[in-house]
């Protein structure tokens, strides 16, 4: 396996079903959440929220695919994809959005041509 492929696989984080986290999550890579999060989620990559996943807090990421429940604001720099089972209660700011029939969304949506909101990962090392 090439080093770059190995690095990409190691950057995928998974929070499994039955796991509950109280607190903020910051990640440099992609993340899949099938558990429950009470706190803000900041991802410098793609966020996938499974059907049984739930996030109560603010979400900031590059791309996201939501199948579960979210209570809070979403800031997505590129594409927000709401699957049929998604239930979103909160305001959205994104560049692009795709909504499947059956998805529930209560809040406001603001789409702009520029970036939605910078992903500022507090754990990222500063570049000199």
Task: Tell me, yes or no, whether 121 lies in a domain.
Answer: no
C-alpha span between 55 and 69 (Å, rounded): 6
CA–chain centroid gap for 6, Å, is 23
Task: Tell me, yes or no, whether 92 lies in a domain.
Answer: yes
Task: Tell me, yes or no, whether 87 lies in a domain.
Answer: yes
| pLDDT tens-place string over residues 62-81 | 999 999 999 999 999 999 99
Residue 92's domain spans which residues? Answer: 10-109
The number of distinct structural domains making up the chain is 1
- Predicted pLDDT at 119: 58
Tell whether the model's pLDDT for residue 28 goes beyond 50: yes
Task: Tell me, yes or no, whether 81 lies in a domain.
Answer: yes
C-alpha span between 106 and 55 (Å, rounded): 15
- Residue 128 binned pLDDT confidence (cut-offs 50, 70, 90): very low
Mean of pLDDT values over 46-63: 97
Task: Tell me, yes or no, whether 122 lies in a domain.
Answer: no
**What b/e readout covers 3-33, taking b as 16+ CB neighbours within 10 angstroms?**
eeeeeeeeeebebeeeeeeeeebbbeebbbb
Task: Tell me, yes or no, whether 25 lies in a domain.
Answer: yes
Q: When comparing pLDDT for 64 and 113, which is higher?
A: 64
Task: Tell me, yes or no, whether 40 lies in a domain.
Answer: yes
Task: Tell me, yes or no, whether 119 lies in a domain.
Answer: no
């Amino acid at each position: 396996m090439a080093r770059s492929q190995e690095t990409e696989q190691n950057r995928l984080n998974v929070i499994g079903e039955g796991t509950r986290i109280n607190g903020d999550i910051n990640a440099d890579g992609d993340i899949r959440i099938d558990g429950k999060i009470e706190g803000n989620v900041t991802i410098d990559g793609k966020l996938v929220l499974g059907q049984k996943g739930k996030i109560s807090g603010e979400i900031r990421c590059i791309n996201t695919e939501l199948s579960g429940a979210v209570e809070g604001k979403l800031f997505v720099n590129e594409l927000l994809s709401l699957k049929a089972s998604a239930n979103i209660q909160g305001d959205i700011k994104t560049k692009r959005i795709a909504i499947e029939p059956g998805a529930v969304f209560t809040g406001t949506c603001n789409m702009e041509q520029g970036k939605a909101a910078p992903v500022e990962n507090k754990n990222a090392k500063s570049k000199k």
